Amino acid sequence: MDRRDWLVVGTGLLIGVLAVVLVKLGNPGNMGLCIACFIRDTAGALGLHRAAIVQYIRPEIPGLVLGAFFAALIGREFRSKGGSGSIIRFFLGIFMMIGALVFLGCPLRMLLRLGGGDLNAILGLVGFIVGIIGGVELLKRGFNLGRAQTGTIIGALVMPLIAVVLVLLAINKPVFNAEAGGPIFASAEGPGSLFAPLAISLAIGLIVGFLAQRARLCLSGGIRDFALTKDTYLIKGYGAIFLGVLIANLILGYFNLGFADQPVAHTDGIWNFLGMALVGLAGILAGGCPLRQLVMSGQGDTDAGMTVLGMLVGAALAHNFMLASSPAGPTLYGKIVVILGIVICAGIGWFCREA
Amino acid sequence: MKKVVDARGLSCPLPVLKTKEAIDKGEQEIEVLVDNNTALENVTRLAHSRGFKVATNKCPDGEWQILINRGE
């Protein structure tokens, strides 16, 4: 273990603990931090979908982007880069989100669910690994979306500025269409009505974004790097997040081992598996998990910004078209689109090759 | 003959993958060009793990030249 190993392990442990602290302070169960769920809630608050129980501008999301932004500024890593298959990355973001909402969580929440004793997440993890290994095979066969170019500083600032606007909207909660009751919409019940105090959510988002940028934390990268080169750097972060969340859950009495009656989860193993397989595959092709995409979007990577916007649109599509699962289980449409997504992403991986 | 791997502008994990391919082909001396610190760290870690010596030069615009060789 060298200095960088300690950074990723320390970051992972802290994220695990802070996620449980957020649950203690009001966030939904096993959902202290979830990039997919929180972008989805934000999409709902903005009126991009009208699922009434999942509408809230989660301050963690802009916090993560801005935390990464400040870390990149301090580390002199803030740089405008983009133009590597941007529109394809947008669609990878859409599919990454749909897969996550069929499973009910991004890879980070999958670890939080595991550390809370939710055994359904094991099937998600196995699917995630299978999707990643599929993506790695496509990489080895020459998958490449092309080189990114240096862009304008204005382009690099778009995502950090969107983050600032989201924070302002979260604080002021203006209602633009009083007749419709929003936007900004706010859930009266359900997961969207459960949240930690705004300032704490924002602060934890900033801290996690800062550290995740420094440590290059990526939930799909850990398994990928191990499969590709036996490199264990990022996978140490996985272990640390799991350990942190497990210990914090045991101390606070949230640990509940089993399949049934887990918070915001369903027990349909096949679709937990396939949903996360889609996230793993799309994540490898996009160059990082949802958390990593947010972080990179904060450091000037406009392609990652496109992926994040794809995730936002994907969340809206997932709820408008009845693709997202509920604790009752996956929907027929969700199943169809997950299969479609796997086929489309595999096609992207197969056909987008170096000339 | 020094093998050059130009990994500038490529997203994760292509810089590492292309360096690995060069190593697996038996190249003894490889020059890798990257344009971000993450790729610099990842390529350096790979080279060390395969027993290569690593020297890095910082270029303008946040680019790096990574020289790796088997050494003796």
* B44 lies within 8 A of chain A by CB: no
Task: Please give the interface size between A and B, counted as residue pairs whose CB atoms are below 8 Å apart.
Answer: 60
Residue of B11, B36, B37, B42 for testing the chain A interface, max A β-carbons within 10 Å = B11
Residues in chain A within 8 Å Cβ distance of B8 = 147
Of A256, A214, A261, the C-alpha closest to A237 is A214
Q: How far apart are alpha carbons A104 and B14 in whole angstroms?
A: 30
Of A76, A83, A88, A66, the C-alpha closest to A157 is A66
pLDDT above 70 for B72: no
The angle, 0 to 180 degrees and rounded to 10, between the axes of the packed helices A60-74 and A198-215 is 40
Tens-level pLDDT at each residue, chain A (355 residues)? 888 999 999 999 999 999 999 999 999 999 999 999 999 999 999 999 999 999 999 999 999 999 999 999 999 999 999 999 999 999 999 999 999 999 999 999 999 999 999 999 999 999 999 999 999 999 999 999 999 999 999 999 999 999 999 999 999 999 999 999 999 999 999 999 999 999 999 999 999 999 999 999 999 999 999 999 999 999 999 999 999 999 999 999 999 999 999 999 999 999 999 999 999 999 999 999 999 999 999 999 999 999 999 999 999 999 999 999 999 999 999 999 999 999 999 999 999 998 6
Residues in chain B within 8 Å Cβ distance of A218 = 12
Annotated catalytic residue within B2, B11, B12, B37: B12
| Residue boundaries of the structural domains of chain B | 3-69
Q: Which fold has domain B3-69?
A: Translation Initiation Factor IF3 (3.30.110)
Query: Is residue B59 among the annotated active site residues?
Result: no
* B4 lies within 8 A of chain A by CB: no
| Helices H / strands E in chain A, number of each | 14, 2
Give A142→chain B minimum CA distance, Å: 9
Residues in chain B within 8 Å Cβ distance of A224 = 13
Rounded to two decimals, the pTM is 0.97
